[in-house]
Structure 1
Amino acid sequence: MNADLALARAVDDLRRGLAIRVTDGDAALHVLAAELAQPETLAALEVEARADLLLTPERAATLHITNQRAAAGARAVFVTRMPWHDLVASIATADPADDLAVPFKGPFPTRAPGRHGRAGEAALALLKRAALLPAAFVVADCAPAPDMLVADAAAALAWRRAPRLRVVSRARLPLAGAEDCQVVAFRPDDGGPEHLALVIGAIGDVPLVRLHSACLTGDVLGSLKCDCGFQLRAAVAAIAAEGGILLYLQQEGRGIGLMNKLRAYALQDQGFDTVDANLRLGFEAEERDFDLASAMLCALGVARIRLLTNNPAKTDAMEAQGIAIAERVPLVLPANPHNAAYLATKRKRQGHQL
């Protein structure tokens, strides 16, 4: 089985609540997604030893354990579960939904990652790829089950760094306000979600380009909590006026997935801003992979663009992948009472030039 196929199947097993094995040389971890664990699946994992709880440093910081020597600087934090740390308490540790309602019942003793550090980091990367909470029950160096999928840690950590895409379809797609439009559908070779390019009008040598991350709540349902739907429609109109490309990237919620984005919304209802909500969930503030966009542009034969964005991180990402930015074109829209705080957070904490 090639590496991409093994990783894709490992992600699928994690999403179905099955345990996988992540290896790094002679070090190995058996990994079970915390949010999907059941009494019987946890018991099967713990045949040889009691499972640790694997967390990201972002979630560990919320638990106030990153100042401990064993966890400091680690990209994977191993919490040694105490006798009272049963399935319910462990899932509550991983899931911040009730952090305010149910105070933490620490302490949370940690162990140094040691030779399992890279396997733990890879396990968290696979959980993120599966759009699950990045937290897991893990047991180190136990005998593998015959049907357990094995994922290589180095391959998992490199998975997002070299996207390989191929065009699977092109078709005319007249849009409201942009009737001269062609849709180009891309499929990654690694089994990830498909992405779209909307080629509008005559694109010229230096087209106007927008990188738009999918937002079902804003783009489709008309949510007022964000500016995504408004930006999508404004971008289509701006590109239609002069010709260009809109890249529609399936990276919901800044790359954390729809279910986790809705979890973040629930945390925002508790008073946390969009950045702190993501961190409490165990994610980084930004999880999107803009290398996908540069790969799509290269496939379309585009090497120099005018980038329609307020986000300097997109400009930096495109330039780092060899796409020349002739100009950054702002896309600033008025706030409403429901997204004003969200826009302020993007400006103050994420550097958006609004």
Structure 2
Amino acid sequence: MTGFVTPRPEPGLSAEALALREVHRAIAELRRGGPVLVEGEGQPLAVAAAETVGAAGLAQLREVGTQPPLLLLAPVRAAAVLSRPVPLSAPEQGVAALRLPPSLMDPQRLAAFADPTAEMLMPAGTERAPVPALAGVALTLAKLGRLLPALVAVPAAGADAGWQRVPADSVLAYPDTAATTLRRVAEARVPLEEAPDTRIVAFRAADGGIEHLAMLVGDPEGRLASGGAPLARLHSECFTGDLLGSLRCDCGPQLRGALRRMAEDGAGVLLYLAQEGRGIGLVNKLRAYALQDGGLDTLDANRALGYGADERNFLLAGTMLRALRIPRVRLLTNNPDKLAGLAACGIEVASREAHSFGGNGVNDAYLATKARRFGHML
């Protein structure tokens, strides 16, 4: 049987780091189309991502399955597939399970069925099924991998040592554990167009995953030493807005405007967090844009994909600020969630500094949605 072999414990790694790496490797296996085994209370659940699984992965699921395969979806996506409401109940942990008719057990059809931007009619025989106990954990794993929260799943028996295994507790703890294990790994002076006196510090978590950056402008440490507080901004990366100058959002102006203000003020720290699209990733953000072009706003588009309105974790920012020895800031934001998130991490927000930019004729509805539905103070 193909698949990753679960590695032996690596000397010198803490239990925390080992748990992170188990999750990181399971995510990698899902992204490349292989199945993984989620283990916890009750029967293990073998799962594969509907958008990446191939014929070999489906064959592996059938081999270990004790029941016919199910499709696990977020309830909002299941409701769209079934063309009727899907009621929620606590044991289902925000998951719906559909019985897969034989006609759907094809990699291309599964990928289209999972993606709300694809044209796909409901196959005959598609109906709800009881939700396996570990289904919510499995869907969380897919979301951590920035995949569509849509999984082919079977309760499993007889999986051999070749399967990539991941404990349920490690999956659920992953966002906070990864945030608290961030460590400085590199630093350099990088003069920027908006802020020539800038240092960039890179942070990496114990799983070896994607890095987050801190841009230190001027002398934030000196500002703290004199009793003041440096300007700070929590900026989630936006490839389309920050790099390409997309008019669909206000991210680029917010990034450059924050750096300018920090340079003018003489001190600041901009945390550039790898949480594209409010935490759903670039590919899913593009899918959300396609849904917005069909009439949904940014919040409902994320939900249609199976994600929450905002999937970001601001504990990342708190950990980075503590590592930089910046316990007090004046926060450039219009988002009340960022104020609450930093306060929950023990960072003092001495003041909120308004940070908004007018519409450009393309993003006007987007800005209105941020104010109306996300509570941004624009």
Verify same fold: TM over 0.5: yes
| SS, match of residue 325 in structure 1 | strand
Q: Identify the residue that residue 157 of structure 2 maps to in structure 1.
A: 142
Matched residue type, 1:210: R
Matched, 1:112 2:130: yes
Cα pair distance change 1:82/1:71, threshold 3 Å: farther
Q: Find 2:353's aligned residue among 329, 334, 344.
A: 329
Whole-angstrom distance in 2 between the partners of 1:234 and 1:106: 53
Following superposition, the deviation at residue 149 of structure 1 comes to 0.8
Matched, 1:218 2:241: yes
Q: Identify the residue that residue 13 of structure 2 maps to in structure 1.
A: none
Q: Please give the per-residue CA displacement for 1:253-298, whole angstroms capped at 9, x wherever unaligned.
A: 1111111111111111112111111111111110111110000001
Q: Find 1:165's aligned residue among 152, 163, 182.
A: 182
Matched residue type, 1:132: L
Residues 183-222 of structure 1: pairs in structure 2 closer than 5 A = 183-203=200-220, 204-205=223-224, 206-222=229-245
Aligned partners of 2:101 and 2:123 also within 8 Å:
no
Structure 2 unaligned residues grouped into runs of 5+: 1-8, 10-17
Q: Please give the per-residue CA displacement for 1:293-321, whole angstroms capped at 9, x wherever unaligned.
A: 00000101111111100100111111111
Cα pair distance change 1:334/1:256, threshold 3 Å: same
Following superposition, the deviation at residue 40 of structure 1 comes to 3.4
Percent identical: 44
Whole-angstrom distance in 1 between the partners of 2:125 and 2:112: 14
Q: Identify the residue that residue 155 of structure 1 maps to in structure 2.
A: 170
Aligned partners of 1:71 and 1:112 also within 8 Å:
no
Aligned partners of 1:65 and 1:71 also within 8 Å:
no
| SS, match of residue 124 in structure 1 | helix
Q: Please give the per-residue CA displacement for 1:220-242, whole angstroms capped at 9, x wherever unaligned.
A: 11111111111100010111111
Cα pair distance change 1:84/1:96, threshold 3 Å: same
Q: Identify the residue that residue 15 of structure 2 maps to in structure 1.
A: none
| SS, match of residue 35 in structure 1 | coil
Residues 1-354 of structure 1: pairs in structure 2 closer than 5 A = 1=9, 2-47=18-63, 48=65, 49-63=67-81, 67-68=86-87, 74-87=93-106, 88-98=108-118, 101-105=119-123, 108-113=126-131, 116-117=132-133, 119-162=134-177, 163=179, 164-203=181-220, 204-205=223-224, 206-242=229-265, 243-354=267-378
Cα pair distance change 1:323/1:107, threshold 3 Å: farther
Q: Please give the per-residue CA displacement for 1:189-222, whole angstroms capped at 9, x wherever unaligned.
A: 1233101101101211211100001011111111
Supply the RMSD in Å over aligned alpha carbons. Answer: 2.0
Cα pair distance change 1:188/1:353, threshold 3 Å: same
Whole-angstrom distance in 1 between the partners of 2:355 and 2:286: 25
Q: Please give the per-residue CA displacement for 1:54-89, whole angstroms capped at 9, x wherever unaligned.
A: 112342344455534778863222222234444355
Matched residue type, 1:13: E
Aligned partners of 2:104 and 2:123 also within 8 Å:
no
Farther-moved stretch of structure 1 (161-170 vs 40-49)? 40-49
| SS, match of residue 175 in structure 2 | coil
Whole-angstrom distance in 1 between the partners of 2:328 and 2:298: 32
Structure 1 unaligned residues grouped into runs of 5+: none
Aligned partners of 1:70 and 1:110 also within 8 Å:
no
Farther-moved stretch of structure 1 (308-317 vs 3-12)? 3-12
Aligned partners of 1:70 and 1:111 also within 8 Å:
no
Q: Identify the residue that residue 5 of structure 2 maps to in structure 1.
A: none
Whole-angstrom distance in 1 between the partners of 2:25 and 2:116: 28
Aligned partners of 2:72 and 2:153 also within 8 Å:
yes
Q: Identify the residue that residue 4 of structure 2 maps to in structure 1.
A: none
Cα pair distance change 1:131/1:288, threshold 3 Å: same
Whole-angstrom distance in 2 between the partners of 1:346 and 1:334: 13
Cα pair distance change 1:106/1:327, threshold 3 Å: farther
Whole-angstrom distance in 2 between the partners of 1:141 and 1:255: 31
Farther-moved stretch of structure 1 (138-147 vs 202-211)? 138-147
Matched residue type, 1:174: P
Matched residue type, 2:167: D
| SS, match of residue 192 in structure 1 | coil
Following superposition, the deviation at residue 324 of structure 1 comes to 1.4
